[in-house]
Amino acid sequence: MNDVIYILLRRLRAPLITLIVVYAASVLGLVLIPGVDDQGQPWRMDFFHAFYFVSFMGSTIGFGEVPYPFTDGQRFWTLACIYATVIAWLYSIGTLLTLLQEPAFGRLMRRRSFVTEVLRLREPFYLICGYGVTGSQVVKKLAARNIRTVVLDLKQERIDALEMDGLSIRVPRLCADASLPDVLHDAGLRHQHCIGVLALTNDDQANLAIAIASKVLVPERMVISRTESDVTTANLDSFGTNLVVDPFRSYAEYLVLTTHAPYTHLVYDWLLNPLHRHMATANKRMEGRWIICGYGRFGRALCGTFRQAGVELTLINEGSDDLIPPLHRVRGIGTEAVTLQDAGVGDAVGIVAGTFHDADNLSIIMTARALNPKLITVVRQNLGENDLVFQSSRADFVMEPGRIIANRILAQIKTPLLPVFIERMLREHDDVWAHVLLNRMSHVVGDRELDSWGIRLCQEDTPALLMRQPGQTLKLRTLMKDPRDRTCSLACLALMHRRGTEVRLLPGELCELQEGDELLFCGLSEALHQMEWTVNNYNLLQYLLTGRENSDSLLSRLLNPGGRR
Amino acid sequence: MNREKVIFAFFIVLALTLNFGFFVGDTSNPNHHNVYELYAALVISLICTVLKFGDRTHVGAMMLATSLVADLQLVAAAVIWGYAAQVGGGVDELILASVVSLSGGALMANILSVVLLVVETVMVRR
C-alpha cells in the first residue's frame, strides 16, 4: 500500500528535474561569467558563492550582490536566472498542490488510512457491506452492544451519513465496491478478528460475490446475506451461507402467522422487533378472506405463503394474466373505491397494499378503510425517507424490507439460540402456550424493548459459574437473581435450555446447570448487564448462592480460617 | 525503441562517465581533478535519482538505493572541497585526496547502477 508515495514521486519527476536543471545552469553561469572584485581585479565566482547566491535568489529572499558588486554581464545572467528559478518553483509547487487536491489521490489516502485502521483492530468485528436502511440499523444495534464493525458502501453519501450518525464507537468505513476481492481484503476479510461478514447491498450479484469470497477464504466464519430472488437464495444456500434473508418471503411468513396464530405471531414479533406490537392487537379478527394489491416480488411471496396456509385470497393487479396462479382476481391498481368494491372489500378481513409506489399504497389503505373500518391494513413502504407518513398512516402493519432484514440478522447475531427457539415454538406449540408466554413477557418488560441473549457455560464466557465449591449445585434460579440484592429477581425470563441435542423450552427455575449448557434469556437489557456480573465474578456468585458477602482476599481468608475454602 | 528508456540509460551512463572522469588520475594532484567535472557529476547524479523515483519493482528500488549512495558521496565531496576552499586553509593534497576517494566511492555506486541497468535490460529480452 505504498501506492500513494509512488504516485507522488512519479508525478514529481518532471518538476524536480526542472528545478535541478535550472539551479545547475544558474550556478554554472555565475561561475563562468567573469566579474571584478572590490579592487577592480578580474575575479571569478566559485561554486560555493554561486550556489549561495542562487539559493537566496531562487527563493526570492535577495541579500544583494555578494561578495562583490556584479558586473553588467553577471547582472544579465542573474536577470534570466531570477525568472527561470521563480517559474521552476511555481511549476513544482503547483504540481504538488494539484496532486494533493486530486480526487484519486484523496481516495488513495482514505483507502490507506482505512487499511491501517482495520489492521489495528484488536477486537472481534463484523464486516458490513452496504450501509442502507438495513446496514445502518445493524451497525447501530451492534454499537449499542459494544461490538465493532467495519463498513463498506458504494456511495459516498451513505458513508457521510455514517459519520453523521454519531455512534458511540469508532467504525472504520470506506467508499468502495464491496464485490471486489481486493476491497474486501483491505476491509479485513482475512483479518483474524473478523467474526462475521454481512452482505447487505441491494445488488444480489454483489452479495453473492461477497458471500462466496468469504466462504472460500475462511469456510467456518459466519456469512449472512440478503437476497431478493429465489435463484440467488438457492445459490447462496448451496455453499453454506449461514443465514439468507429474503425480506419479502420472511415478511410473508410473518404475516401469515397472524391469520391462524395471533399470539405466536406476537411472541415472534416481540423477540425480533425492537418496537413490538401491543398485546391488544391480537384480539382483532384475522381469519377470513384477504385482499392483496400488487403482484410484484412481495405480492408473489405473499400469495404463495397464504395459499399454502389455506387462506382465501383476492388479488388486485394491473397488467397481463401471465404467471398468475388461479385466484379470484380483479383488474386495477386498488386506489379507486370501485376496484376495491369489486374485490369485495366489505366482507374481507384484511388488505395488503404491496405495490412499488408508496403513494399508491397509502391511497389503497385510506380508501379501503373508508369502505370497511374494521379492515386489517398492511402497507408496504418502499423508501426509508417516507417514515413519517407511514408512521401516521395508522396502518396495522408497515412492511419495510430494510428493517425486516435488520431484525432477522440481529436476532442471529445476538444469539444463534433465538432462531432455534422460534423454530421449535412454531413447530411444537400452539397458540395457548404462546399466549401464556406472552403474558409472562409482558409482565417482565411491559412496553419497553424486549432484548434477548444467550449464555453458554464455559471457561471463556462464564468463568465464575465453573468455579463452584464442592457440593454446590448451580440452579437456573441463581442466575436470574439480582447480584445487588439476592432477594430481588432480574427483569428477565429463561426461554430455552440446551444440553447437547436435548432442548427444553421455558425451563423451570430449579433446573440444574452443567458445563456446556446453553441458555437463552429474554428481558430488559439492564438485566443482561447485571447477569454478566454474576457469570464473571466469583464473589457475586457466592453471594447469590450462599448469601454471604466475602471479599475472598488472602487477608480475609487468614482472618477467617473457619470460613469457606 | 522507447524514448523514455533512452533518456534514462543516457543519464545513468553519463553519471558514471563523468564520475570516472573526475576520479581518474593521481589522487593528490590538483591538475588531474577538475572542479567543473565534479559539479557536472553531482548534477547528473541528482537528475538520475529523480528519474528513478516511483519505480515499484525490486530492481527499481535497488537502482534508487545506489543512486542515493552516489549522491551522498558526491555531496560530501563537494562540501569538503567548498569548506576547505572558503573557510579552511585552501585545497591542499590531503583535502583533495579525501575528495577524490569519496568520488571513488560514488563511482562504485554508479558502476553498480549501470550493472543493474544491464541486468534489467537482459531480463526484458526484447
Structure confidence at residue A230 as a pLDDT band (50, 70, 90): confident
Q: Tell me the percentage of chain A whose pLDDT exceeds 90.
A: 18
The size of the A-B interface in CB pairs under 8 A is 44
For residue A320, what pLDDT is reported?
63
Q: Which is higher by pLDDT, A174 or A342?
A: A174
Instruction: For domain A448-559, give the CATH superfamily.
Output: Regulator of K+ conductance, C-terminal domain (3.30.70.1450)
- Average pLDDT, rounded, for chain A: 85
**pLDDT band at A565, cuts 50/70/90?**
very low
When pLDDT is averaged across residues A154-175 and rounded to a whole number, the result is 88
CB contact under 8 A, A9 and B53: yes
Q: Which residue of B43, B54, B85 is in closest CB contact with A48? A: B85
Q: Average pLDDT, stretch A135-156?
A: 89
Q: What is the mean pLDDT of residues A220-227?
A: 89
What residues of chain A lie within 8 A of the CB of B82, using their CB? 46-48
Bond before A67 cis per omega within 30 degrees = yes
- Mutate which of A8, A10, A48 to disrupt the B interface (most B C-beta within 10 Å)? A48
The Cα A47–Cα A27 span in angstroms is: 7
Query: pLDDT higher for A332 or A140?
Result: A140
- List all residues 6 or more positions away from B92 whose beta carbon is below 8 Å from its beta carbon: B84
Tell whether the model's pLDDT for residue A474 goes beyond 70. yes
**What DSSP letter does each residue of A44-111 carry, written as one string?**
E--HHHHHHHHHHHHTT----S-SSPPPHHHHHHHHHHHHHHHHHHHHHHHHHHHHHH-HHHHHHHHH
Nearest-Cα distance to chain B for A76, in Å, is 22
Asked if B56 is an interface residue toward chain A (Cβ–Cβ < 8 A), one would say yes
The reported pLDDT for the residue numbered A28 is: 94
CATH 1.10.287.70 residue ranges in chain A? Answer: 3-101
Residues of chain A whose beta carbon is less than 8 angstroms from a beta carbon of chain B are 2, 6-13, 16-17, 20-21, 24, 27-28, 31, 46-49
CA B51 to chain A, closest CA, distance in angstroms equals: 6
Cα dist from A368 to A201, A290, A337, A354, B86, whole Å? 35, 12, 7, 14, 101
Structure-model confidence comparison of residues B124 and B13, the more confident one = B13
Contact A450, A522 (CB under 8 A): yes
Provide the strand spans (E) within A272-312: 290-293
Burial class (CB in 10 A: 0-12, 13-18, 19+), A170: exposed
Across the range B52-74, mean pLDDT stands at 91
Range of the domain at B106: 3-124
Cell numbers given for A135: 446496514
pTM exceeding 0.80 = no
Nearest-Cα distance to chain A for B21, in Å, is 18
Q: Mean pLDDT check: name the lowest of A108-122, A536-550, B103-117.
A: A536-550
- Inter-chain touch A6–B56, beta carbons under 8 Å: yes
Give, in order, the Cα–Cα distances in Å from A56 to each of A82, A466, B63.
10, 77, 32
Q: What is the phi/psi pair of residue B120, to 5°? A: -60, -40
CATH of domain A248-414: 3.40.50.720
Average pLDDT value for residue range B100-123: 93
| Number of Cβ atoms within 10 Å of the Cβ of A375 | 21
Lowest mean pLDDT among A382-396, B2-16, B50-64: A382-396
How far apart are the CA of B32 and the nearest CA of chain A, in angstroms? 18
Query: Where is pLDDT greater, at A10 or B13?
Result: B13
- The mean pLDDT of A193-205, rounded to a whole number, is 90
- Residue A356, pLDDT > 90, answer no
Number of domains in chain B: 1
CB-closest option in A10, A21, A49 to B53: A10
Contacts of A24 in chain B (CB under 8 A): 39, 43
Q: Residue A561 — pLDDT band, cuts 50, 70, 90?
A: low
pLDDT at A318: 79
Q: Does B91 touch chain A (CB under 8 A)?
A: no
Please report the pLDDT score of residue A1 as a whole number.
46
**Homologous superfamily of domain range A123-245:** NAD(P)-binding Rossmann-like Domain (3.40.50.720)
Is A259's pLDDT higher than 80? no
pLDDT class of B24 with cuts at 50, 70, 90: very high
Average pLDDT over residues A330-345: 82
Residues from chain A contacting residue B35 (CB–CB below 8 Å):
47
**pLDDT for residue B125:** 64
* CATH class held by domain A3-101: mainly alpha
Per-residue confidence (pLDDT) for residue A552, from 0 to 100: 67
Residue of A283, A281, A276 lying closest to A444 (CA atoms): A276
